[in-house]
Each structure stands twice: as C-alpha cells, then as structure tokens.
Structure 1
C-alpha cells in the first residue's frame, strides 16, 4: 500500500475488496484487464517523466530552492537556512524495514541537533488493518525548533497562485497519510526531552510548476481536516485477516494457473468468482482512485444499486437501496395528487418530486422515469 492507495481507502473504508487486494499486494490493474473491465488510470509515461524531472530540479543543490520556498511561505520570523548548512542524511538501507529504521534514526538525530535538515524520500510505516504499510514522502524538512514539515511535489501547474482544487485535495489527503505516519515516529523518538520537542506540522508544503513553466512555486496547505478524517477512517477498517478468513477455501487472485507443470491464464469465471467473494462499496469517485472501478460499476448497475449514482444520492434515499425500489416509491401514488405522508421522509420526497415533475411536463397522472 502506498499513500495514494491509503488515502483512497480512508475515503471509502467500507470497501473490503480494496482493503484485501491492496493488503495482499494484488496487481489490481492486471486483474481488471483479466476481467475485461479496464479504465484509463494513473499517469501517462510523459507525465511521469515530467514529474521526475521537476522533482529533481526542485531538490537540486541539496534542496536550497526547496528550503527557500518553505521559509518564504512560513513567514514565522525564523532565520532562513544558511547556504550549505542544511543536513541531508543518507537514508539508504536494506529493505523497507531497514529504510524505515534509518529514517527514524535520521529524524531523531536532526531533531536533537536543532538544525535544518532535508530528508529526501524517507520511509515511514503505518499499521493498516493489522498489516504494515511502508510509505515514501517526497521529502521531510526538520526545522531548528524540532518540528517537521511534509513536502509534496506535484507536476500539475499552479496558475496565478492557485491550482486545480480536485488535485490539491487529492494531494492533501495523500500528505495527511504521511503526516499520520510521522506522528507515530515523533511520539516514539528518543529521550524524554526530545520526545516533547519533535512534532509534525499540520501545514504541508505543496510544490508545483509555476504557470506551466518548469520553475517551482509553492503554497502551504492545512491538512488538519484530512488528517482527522484519515485517522478516524483507518481505525474503522476491518483487519485483513478477518476479511481473508471469511473467504471460501481455495480463493485466489493469482492470474496464472498451473496444471501438470503447465502454466496458463486462469479462467475469467474463476477470477470473477474470487473477486465477487469479497464485498465492495462502489461509488463514482472510485473511477479516479481504483483500477477495479469499471468492474465494480458494472456489477453495481446490474444489481440496480443506488450507490452507482453517488454517495450523496445514497444518503438521501435512506432505506431505499435499489433503483427499482426508488421508482416504486416515487410511483406509489398517482402523480399530481396530494398524497398522504407515509412517515418515510425519502418516500415522501420522491412522491412530491414525481408530482412536481408531472406538473412540469403538463401530463398529470403519468410519469415517465428514465
């Protein structure tokens, strides 16, 4: 699981299917292709290369430009970092556990030293539904006062000081996952004097290209709301062991089938049965966050589930869980007549809407719902 996947999972904690597949490390894109339900997902190769090039530019010269942008946006009266005085500890280690331990040690040492430090691609861990997730922020800056700032570098432009709100929101949710993991590290750091000193700032520095150029600009993004939501939602996730224990014996998501020493592609029917054995919680927002969204959307529409129309619609309809039930409630009284209240706010609202629609179409007594 990476931070993007965890942010999506925190936004939809009821989806056991995604929790299990991400926790098991299943390639959801390959699984979606095998099921014949692919959607355009993720960055193009050009966008990925452009993002890497921009990040390298921002971090050049030991991160001097990055630290300058951060100090300018803070406006807290602190002294700017002196050129060449920023520590850049080496975070290389064997495996994710080793890198996590090395990052924790570097944060401890930089906090105790009371100087500026830039950690390039540190690694932190977070327990998610009973399984460890290793996360890699773009960068973390340690301030002389012992506080830490998460740096999120994105390749979408910031035009006239503002960027696409949807993309900024996604970056904020992703950064909140990093901040949550860093809070766990700060709580465990070192001796009692330093334990109270280390803290994670709730303002994340979002760095983007300025006006479609390759020059960096930045803004501070307050992620307190996203941090609270992520913390609450992740605690609600069912443990992955419990989800797996409820599966039929022999369930597998392996795309390859081995029989008598020969390897072939597993039949679509078997893969479909395996996927359907785990409950999903589809919503239209999944189309931008999950590779299996097209498959889940098709199943949701086939079942007539109102979730396919959006979470807002689902919340307004109360106990009406299918489109068929919604239409039956709307057409329960002759359109255009003043029906007696049923006691169900959702049903009463649907009948009023049906009557108003009939009046608007000037066809009392008949309502066509499509």
Structure 2
C-alpha cells in the first residue's frame, strides 16, 4: 500500500483516542465524502481536542442548557415515569399495561467486584435485550439508560441510549429526550434532524446487536419517540420520527470507515506525519500548531455547506480561505465549477490566461468569459 497510513494509530501518534458517543458517530453522516474526516475518525482522533490545540474554542453546551435538560429528565422520572409511559402508549401504540423497568445507569448498577462500569452495563443490557427479543413473557418492557456498542472500523463505541428504550412483544422502540422546546406542535427542524441522526446511532447499534444474538434487525423499530418540553411550561410532548433513512446512511458511512485502507490506497496518499501532540504543551505553541496543520493539509478535505456542525469547521474554513477555494462561495457554486477548485483558476479561465481542458471546462470557460465581458462593458459604460 502506498502512503504510511496503516496502522492508523501511527497517524494519531501520542494524541489521545476519542471516546465515541452518539453525537460523534452521528456526525459521520454529516461529512460522508470528506476523506480528512473519515481518516481522522478511523484513527480515533479527538477532533474537538485537535481544534482546541489549534487555538479555536470548542463548541460546548451551555451550563444552563445542561441544567434545564437534567430538570426535564427528572420531571419525566417522577410518578413512576407515568407521563413518559402515557406518551409511549399514545404515540407508539404500546400497551404497557404492566410496566416492568430496570435502571441500567452507572449509579444503579454498582457492584462490589470492581468491574468497570461500561463493561458491566453493556453485559447487563445484552442480557436484558436477549430476553426481550426472544419474547420471554417475563422480560422487561422498559430499560432506563441501557448501554449498547457499535463497531466502527477498529474502534468500538459505547453508546448510552439517551434515556430509555421501550420493548413491547419482542420489538424495541428507542425513546430520546431533548430539552429544546416544542412550540405550537413545531420544533426547530435543525435540532430535530440532529436528534434523528443521534437516535439512528442507537437504533443501528440495537439492530446489529440483535443480529449478533441471532435475531432479526426488524425487531428494532426505526420509529423513535422524541420527547420535548412544550413551550416554556415543561409539559412533556411527543413527536414520532422515522429514522430509517438516517440508519441506512449511517450504516453506509460506517462501512466506508471499515474500508479505510482501500480508500487510502485508491487515493495514493503520501506518507502522513503523525500528529505532534504533547498534552503538556502550551496550546498557543506555534511549532505544535504548525505540526498539526501539516498533518491536516496532507488529508484531502471536502469543505461545503454541511460542514458547519463539524468540529473541524473553523480550521478547514481558514484553509479554504487561504487557498481561495470556490467552496467558500457555497456548495452550489463549487459544484458548478467542477475541478476548478480556486477562484484564481476561474479568473484565469474568464480572462483567457488559461486554455480549458476537456468539454466541461470549455463550457464553464464560455460562461465565465461572457460574464467577464459583461462586467467590462458595464465598467466602461460607467466610466463614460
């Protein structure tokens, strides 16, 4: 294989491996064709920490939002989760006449033998899921904070279901709880989309665990119940999301990560320098930052409109600015420009300093020269 990409841990060097959660896994769908992001994810690089080392502030949820979320979850946990059960009955059509629940959160599953919490919780979750999927009449029908796993390349994500997973007659339904508001039966579509992608991570992990245990993935429903506070009154309300498309897109993205060696070989990447990260180094250290930028620049990026939610958005945006990339004018313009990735290349075509190569560039050159001629005529008329 050309290029020193394998093993990918060599690229990460001393940089700490990222802990994969639903939010990070879901973000793979947001940049499906970005080689830079795919390789960094496969190498287990913590991109949020990477950006912080470059001197950018990381986007973190505000303490107020975290506090509000905790209050809303506590509200739903009152009275035996009566309001939550009622929403599940209404929106998912679950009977739940006899609620049998188990709390699998870290505090509720402590033991005396010092087994690591994640290992213990994942094992207990797997045991309960097995009973549910084989339709044991005494199986639980409500799991609180179960922990599932999902293999991504050489890494394994430990995924805590946002709050709950319901089960009814051998079929699983994921329930996600968020603290953004439902106003007049409408919610912010951007936040709903983000919740759908993160819920798809949980659904896919359940589907693959079901298959590993010899059951059908169809026993895990792709219909997710999203519970939100209505207006400012904190009255719980439900929305049903069908995340089947998100699950399929996520599965495809994970398969691309699994074939990272083939991807790197097909691109014929040059040897990649390891990330020169020393956690004790001053984050403003210029040598450190230059080393990180050198590694990033060796990885092809796909900058576009959908990158704003990626942790690498700011350094990639600065790189696009420095190279005068057409991507800074939006994905629609960039797509029209084809292989001409910089504004300078387009200006050369428009002003006749470079001959077009191929039919598509010839067509683009014709459009640009006409536009340039129109600008020249307008300037001449204005000067007269």
With structure 1 as the length reference, what TM-score do the two structures score?
Answer: 0.79
Q: CA deviation at 1:226?
A: 1.0
Equivalent residue, structure 1, for 2:25: 6
Structure with the higher fraction of residues in helix conformation: 2
1:247 aligns with 2:267: no
Structure with bigger RCO (C-alpha 8 Å, 6+ apart): 2
Matched residues in 2 for 1:89 and 1:300: separation? 48
Matched residues in 1 for 2:23 and 2:101: separation? 28
**Correspondence for 2:309 among 288, 296, 312:** 288
Equivalent residue, structure 2, for 1:348: 363
Assess, with a 3 A threshold, how the Cα gap between structure 1 residues 238 and 109 changes in structure 2: closer, same or farther.
closer
1:136 aligns with 2:136: no
Could you tell me whether the CA contact under 8 Å between 2:73 and 2:177 is conserved in 1?
A: yes
Equivalent residue, structure 1, for 2:318: 298
Kindly report the root-mean-square deviation, in angstroms, between the aligned alpha carbons of the 2 structures: 3.4
Question: Which deviates more, 140-149 or 152-161?
Answer: 140-149
Matched residues in 2 for 1:274 and 1:113: separation? 53
Q: CA deviation at 1:358?
A: 6.2
Provide the secondary structure at the position in 2 that maps to 1:201. coil
Q: CA deviation at 1:234?
A: 1.6
**Correspondence for 1:85 among 87, 99, 108:** 99
Could you tell me whether the CA contact under 8 Å between 2:196 and 2:246 is conserved in 1?
A: yes
Could you tell me whether the CA contact under 8 Å between 1:29 and 1:38 is conserved in 2?
A: no
1:145-200 deviation digits (Å, cap 9, x = unpaired): 2111111111111111111111111111111111111101111236xxxx259711
Question: Which deviates more, 66-75 or 352-361?
Answer: 352-361
Q: CA deviation at 1:3?
A: 1.2
1:47 aligns with 2:65: yes
Could you tell me whether the CA contact under 8 Å between 1:21 and 1:28 is conserved in 2?
A: yes
**Correspondence for 1:164 among 188, 212, 219:** 188
Q: CA deviation at 1:28?
A: 4.0
Assess, with a 3 A threshold, how the Cα gap between structure 1 residues 36 and 100 changes in structure 2: closer, same or farther.
same
1:16-41 deviation digits (Å, cap 9, x = unpaired): 544565566655444434322336x1
Provide the secondary structure at the position in 2 that maps to 1:237. helix
Assess, with a 3 A threshold, how the Cα gap between structure 1 residues 332 and 168 changes in structure 2: closer, same or farther.
farther
Count of paired positions: 343
**Correspondence for 2:174 among 132, 138, 150:** 150
Matched residues in 1 for 2:53 and 2:185: separation? 43
Matched residues in 2 for 1:222 and 1:105: separation? 27
Question: Which deviates more, 305-314 or 123-132?
Answer: 305-314
Equivalent residue, structure 2, for 1:108: 130
**Correspondence for 1:268 among 286, 295, 304:** 286
Equivalent residue, structure 2, for 1:219: 239
Q: CA deviation at 1:232?
A: 0.9
Provide the secondary structure at the position in 2 that maps to 1:60. helix
Q: Which runs of 5+ in 1 are unaligned?
A: 258-263, 334-340
1:349-370 deviation digits (Å, cap 9, x = unpaired): 5643663686599617899xxx
**Correspondence for 1:189 among 209, 213, 227:** 213
Provide the secondary structure at the position in 2 that maps to 1:143. strand
Provide the secondary structure at the position in 1 that maps to 2:151. strand
1:85-122 deviation digits (Å, cap 9, x = unpaired): 33225463623233222211111123433466221111
Equivalent residue, structure 2, for 1:337: none
1:99 aligns with 2:113: no
